Amino acid sequence: MKKSNVLFLFSDQHNARCMSCAGHSEVKTPNLDRLAGEGVRFENAYSQNPICTPSRMSFLSGLYPSTHGYYGLYGHAPMESITSIFKHFGNNGYRTGALGKLHTPRYWVEQDCQFVYDEFVEYPKYLEAVGLYELNDNRDFNGLRSGETSNIPIEHSCEVALAKQKIRFMRNEGEPKDRGRADAPWMGWISFARPHGPYTPSMPYAAMYPPESLSLPPVSENEKQELKELRSHHDEHFVRKNLSAYLGLVTQVDYGIGMILKELEVRGELDNTIIIYSADHGDYAGEHGLVEKTGGISYRAITRIPMIVRLPDKRFAGSVTDEIVEAVDVFPTLCELAGVEIPNTVQGKSFTPLLSENPAPIRSNALTENA
């Protein structure tokens, strides 16, 4: 019998509160809601680091930052002893793919995957080919367009372009070197670059959440001085405008996820695929009167992450657990669910005991590290 496929859905800077399945009264996330309704949602999942690269290193290696050694963006190639989830699954008969915003030390992920689509490299080429290169605004990190409607139509957005590449991977298409055995199970990581800023959703998502109608989280004046100083630079209009665009991007990422789920259904592989969704870290998303994550990155809005697991047989569909899990636990959990031996390099713990009728806690606390 063919082993289950593994679909690791991932996004950048998704506040765990901002899903309708998590109780948010305004944001629309129909595809994430579907996964939660057919799977298990973890209310207390935490990132090992509130910055992109070190967090991704922890997810993909199963190691804490104080072990893998990364605290900043990018960095030198990891030591040989740091085994990636792709290398391990590849050694166990899976064809592997890493697609989207990789944001890891150069060539670490690439050398361990058959199919690689580095969005930072390939998406600008795609936009150039369709005559939209000069309109690209998803990398406008100077913030000048944040909160505005994207110049890129939805059909050419980075979310849709990435979903199409993921579909190519599932179909085992591409150059000969990108392909594996047609009968092999696959393990694919698809990493959406957003809702990380700049917040520039395409239509119709840019107009989905009128700023003036949004409910803002409460703000306390009994907070650290640094937060109050930051708030003094951003009035309520600024927060509403950017939160509107942020929620638009959350729904836009959800749309890309829906494209992938539809392809799984068409191929008859949905019920032979282990699906997990998470993010590298959160965003204030209006909490503390702020957006983005500047102003203290050890707050729960930043360290808590979404985590949803859908099993092929839809066991425990629609359940929610309050038990604590961490990013380092994803690697060993996917191994155990797929029937692959957990490597002895991993520090995380499999949270499969929580995917049972009598869930047994695996942790009493979570550790987020930052230099």
Confidence of residue 297 (pLDDT cuts 50, 70, 90): confident
pLDDT score recorded for residue 226: 84
Q: Considering the entire predicted model, what is its pTM?
A: 0.97
| pLDDT for 10 beyond 60 | yes
pLDDT score recorded for residue 311: 97
pLDDT score recorded for residue 298: 85
Q: Which of 90-104, 139-153, 246-260, 345-359 is least confident?
A: 139-153
Which carries the bigger pLDDT value, residue 138 or residue 339? 339
Q: pLDDT digit string (tens) for 192-204?
A: 999 999 999 999 9
Distance between CA atoms of residues 261 and 133, nearest Å: 29
Mean pLDDT, range 79-107, rounded to an integer: 94
Q: How far is CA 253 from CA 21, 156, 205, 246, 248, in A?
A: 15, 13, 10, 11, 9
Domains defined along the chain, listed by start = 5-354 (3.40.720.10)
| pLDDT for 1 beyond 70 | no
